[in-house]
Amino acid sequence: MGDFIPTVPIELQIRKIIFEKFNNVDSKFSNDDVFEIIKKNGDINPSWIIDDLESFFNELCASGLARNIAQNFTTIWMKLFEPIEKLRCNSCNLEIYLGTTEDRVCPNPSCKSSI
Ligand SMILES: [Zn+2]
C-alpha cells in the first residue's frame, strides 16, 4: 500500500467532527466515535486502525482543548474544556476549529500560522 495523503489533514478532520457532532462541554465523546465518522468520510488511509490516531487525540488533550476522562483499552473518553468555534485560516485558506481560549494558531500541521 502506498502512502495515503488525506485531502484535509487528520488534525483538522478530528476537530471538525468534534465541532459538528460533539461541541458541548457537558457531554463526552470517544476516539472511537470520531474514528467511525472519519472512516465513513473516507479521507484517511484505509489501513489505519484506532491506534494510529492515538497521538492526535493526545495532542487535543495536550493543547488544552479536551481532557481524557476515562480510558478502556483503546477507547479514550474525552470532554471539551470549552466550546469550539469555526474560523478560517488566511494562510492555508482552510476551515479550522479552535477552542474559544485556545492559542490562536492554525492546527493544520503544515501551516501553524497565527490566526
Ligand atoms: Zn493555516
**Rounded to two decimals, what is the model's pTM?**
0.95
Q: Is the pLDDT of residue 25 over 70?
A: yes
* Joined grid coordinates for residue 88: 478560517
User: What's the 115 CA to ligand 1 centre distance in angstroms?
Assistant: 8
Q: Are 22 and 32 in contact (CB under 8 A)?
A: no
Partners of residue 39 on adjacent β-strands: none
pLDDT in tens, 39-90: 999 999 999 999 999 999 999 999 999 999 999 999 999 999 999 999 999 9
DSSP 37-98: HHHHHT-S-TT--GGGGHHHHHHHHHTTSEEEEEEETTEEEEEESS-EEEEE-TTT--EEEE
| pLDDT at res. 13 | 98
Domain boundaries, the chain: 10-85
Mean pLDDT for the chain overall: 96
CATH number for region 10-85: 1.10.10.10
CA of 50 to the centre of ligand 1 (A): 26
Q: What per-residue confidence (pLDDT) applies to 74? A: 94
